[in-house]
Amino acid sequence: MSAPVERGLALPQGGAWLRFLLALAAVGVLMICWRDTSVSALVFVQIAMASAMVVGVVWNPDSLWPAGLISLAIGIRLFDGAAVVDSDLLWLIVLIPLVHQLAAVAGAIPARAELSLAALLPSAMRYVTAVLVTVLLVLFVVVTGLAPFQSG
């Protein structure tokens, strides 16, 4: 008879929880990229595209939907005259890698699977490292005066 294996802390329906967190991160990215406009048709198009993106990312996280969401966010940020260092950029530095990591893990874990929280440690470490290095580089750029920080 074999000895029982201690698994540590496990989250039932862990894949579904990962998809829920992925949806929150995707909505956060799209809210930061939202552009105010008085043209109601453009507001409708933005809402329709954002809804389709979030549904696509959550429904099929191991597809091109997460890459499309990230590319859309970067494209809006660069081509809409917002290529500056500000608080929105800092939020995107936190949320874009989160979407990337959550999509990668959620794509590999079925929605109804039990998830050991220890299994998430490598992904969490990669995420923290990527965000920390990026924030330090942005801080260096601001401190050295290469790009001013715009508040407000």
Question: What's the pLDDT at 89?
Answer: 87
Angstrom distance (rounded) from CA 63 to CA 93 = 22
**Helix or strand run (H / E) with residue 86:** strand 85-86
Please identify which residue in the block is written with the tokens 């998809």: 19
Angstrom distance (rounded) from CA 21 to CA 138 = 26
pLDDT tens profile 73-114:
888 877 776 567 888 889 999 999 999 999 999 999 888 888
pLDDT tens profile 106-139:
999 888 888 888 888 999 999 999 999 999 999 9
pLDDT tens profile 13-35:
888 999 999 999 999 998 888 87
Rounded to two decimals, what is the model's pTM? 0.83
Question: What's the pLDDT at 7?
Answer: 62
Question: What's the pLDDT at 152?
Answer: 65
Question: What's the pLDDT at 83?
Answer: 64
**Helix or strand run (H / E) with residue 150:** strand 149-150
Residue-wise over 67-92: b if at least 16 C-beta within 10 A, else e? eebbebbeebbeeeeeeebeebbbeb
